[in-house]
Amino acid sequence: MGKYLSDFSEEELNGFTQTAYSEDRFTVRGTAPVHMLEDTLGVLELWHGPTCAFKDVALQVLPHLLTSSLEKLGETKTACILVATSGDTGKAALEGFADVPGTRIAVFYPKDGVSRIQELQMTTQRGQNLYVSSFRGNFDNVQSCIKEVFSDENIRTRAAEKGYFFSSANSINWGRAVPQIVYYVSAYCELINNGSLKQGDEFNVCVPTGNFGNILAAYYAREMGIPISKLICASNSNNVLTDFFKTGRYDAERQFYHTISPAMDILISSNLERLIFHLSGNDDKTVTRYMSKLKSDGVYTVNDEIKALLSELFFADFCTNEEAMKTISEIYNEYSYLIDTHTAVAFNVYNKYRESTNDTKPVVVASTASPFKFSESVLAALGVDVGYKGIELLDILARTTESEIPKPLADIGTLTERFTDTADCEALPEAIMRFLI
Ligand SMILES: *Cc1c(COP(=O)(O)O)cnc(C)c1O
Q: Which residues contact 280 (CB under 8 A, 6 or more apart)?
A: 286, 287, 302, 303, 305, 306
Ranges under pLDDT 50 in the chain: none
Query: Which letter, b or e, does each residue of 331-366 get, where b requires 16 or more Cβ atoms within 10 Å of its Cβ?
Result: bbeeeeebbbbbbbbbbbbbbbbeeeeeeeebbbbb
Is the beta carbon of 342 within 6 A of some atom in ligand 1? yes
Of the residues 122, 231, 271, 342, which should be mutated to test ligand 1's pocket, given the most ligand atoms within 8 Å of the CB? 342
What's the CA-to-centroid distance between 235 and ligand 1, angstroms? 10
Is the beta carbon of 208 within 6 A of some atom in ligand 1? yes
Is the beta carbon of 263 within 6 A of some atom in ligand 1? yes
Q: Which residues contact 284 (CB under 8 A, 6 or more apart)?
A: 277
pTM, full prediction: 0.93
Closest approach atom of ligand 1 to CA 86: 1
Closest CA to ligand 1's atom 1: 263
Residue 348 three-state SS: helix
285 is catalytic: no
What's the CA-to-centroid distance between 360 and ligand 1, angstroms? 26
pLDDT at 87: 78
pLDDT at 349: 98
313-353 confidence digits (pLDDT tens): 999 999 999 999 999 999 999 999 999 999 999 999 999 99
Which residue out of 3, 55, 91, 389 is catalytically annotated? 55
DSSP code string of 219-277: HHHHHTT--EEEEEEEE-S--HHHHHHHHSEEE--S-----S-GGG--SS-TTHHHHHH
Is the beta carbon of 317 within 6 A of some atom in ligand 1? no
| Phi then psi dihedrals of residue 240, to 5 deg | -60, -35
Is the beta carbon of 113 within 6 A of some atom in ligand 1? no
How many residues make up the chain in this entry? Answer: 437
What's the CA-to-centroid distance between 54 and ligand 1, angstroms? 7
Is the beta carbon of 269 within 6 A of some atom in ligand 1? no
pLDDT at 387: 74
